[in-house]
Amino acid sequence: MKLFKWITFSVSLLSASAFAQDYTVEGNIGKGQFKQLAIAPGDLICGLNTSGEVVIYKADGSEEKIIKTGLNGAEALAVSPNGSFHVFSNIVESKKVKSGARMVSVNVPVGVQDTVFDANGVKADSYVLNMLKSVKTARFIGEHLVVADLTARTVVVIDPESHNETARIQDGLRLCCGIFDVCAAPEDTLAISNLGAFKLQQFSMDGKLVTEFGKRGRELNDFHGCCNPVSAAYLPSGEILTVEKDPTRIKIYDAKGEHARQIDGVDELVKGCSYIPVIVDSQGNIYLAAATKNCIVKCVKK
């Protein structure tokens, strides 16, 4: 009986080990501080930098082109299925607020502007998303535009053709450190890095919870620190990639959110409680924005 249990346990461990892909750090791409990353058709790596430029790289790290948006305060980037670039910026109003015994002027976000550039980088359109107060991250997931609104602490699903809101996810979201990440998940769903709750949560496009996993703790399967994960992505295999900060920890779970394995060799990507953008291309290569390195770190299968 004891032998049977030992064999069963060993087979379980081997299965879990085989399921997870082994990755290694290949090197760095580009130069700059990137607010968000995105994948464009042809597996082009796109980064929105702090100057409001969209810098586009090939998978080998060579620079393809730069889109100079001319936008002040560009915050998020999403690439549509047809290859157009959507750059989002906050619309702000100056308001007087009390700070101690004084009244001071602060800029308060009151809306979001989506400026669209075609695949060649030429400005094509611009419109205001009135259902949003601010933008932190944005993604195209299938035919849907999904925006994380930090001010309203809400993920909003939008029809990009009519610009109408189709769903809103808000209940149970516990944000922290000004971080709010959303990513594409399998079968036309989305996933939210609910870092204050130490969970990754998957939702349908009509805002219903599909599944979730994660808890705070010190084991490899757990999420550590004051709040994690800060971002996530799904690999082509169906496995789940999560990103933790302070200290940086990049992990791959199986499709059920179990049997975590850590990618070795990834240095600290940020200092303190900061967002780490991540994307995955069609080949399963992983790209992480590294504020401490001023570049994008690429991880590949061994």
Average pLDDT of the segment spanning 67-92? 96
Give the per-residue SS3 of the chain. CHHHHHHHHHHHHHHHHHHCCCEEEEEEECCCCEEEEEEECCCEEEEEECCCEEEEECCCCCEEEEEECCCCCEEEEEECCCCCEEEEEEEEEEEEEEECCEEEEEEEEEEEEEEEECCCCCEEEEEEECCCCCCCEEEEECCEEEEEECCCCEEEEEECCCCEEEEEECCCCCCECCECCEEEECCCEEEEEEHHHCEEEEECCCCCEEEEECCECCCCCCECCCCCCCEEEECCCCCEEEEECCCCEEEEECCCCCCCEECCCCCCCCCCCCCCCEEECCCCCEEEEECCCCEEEEEEEC
The pTM for the full model equals 0.90
Per-residue confidence (pLDDT) for residue 21, from 0 to 100: 53
- The string of pLDDT tens digits covering residues 12-57 is 444 444 334 589 999 999 999 999 999 999 999 999 999 999 999 9
Q: Which CATH class is domain 23-93+109-301?
A: mainly beta
Give pLDDT, residue 105. 87
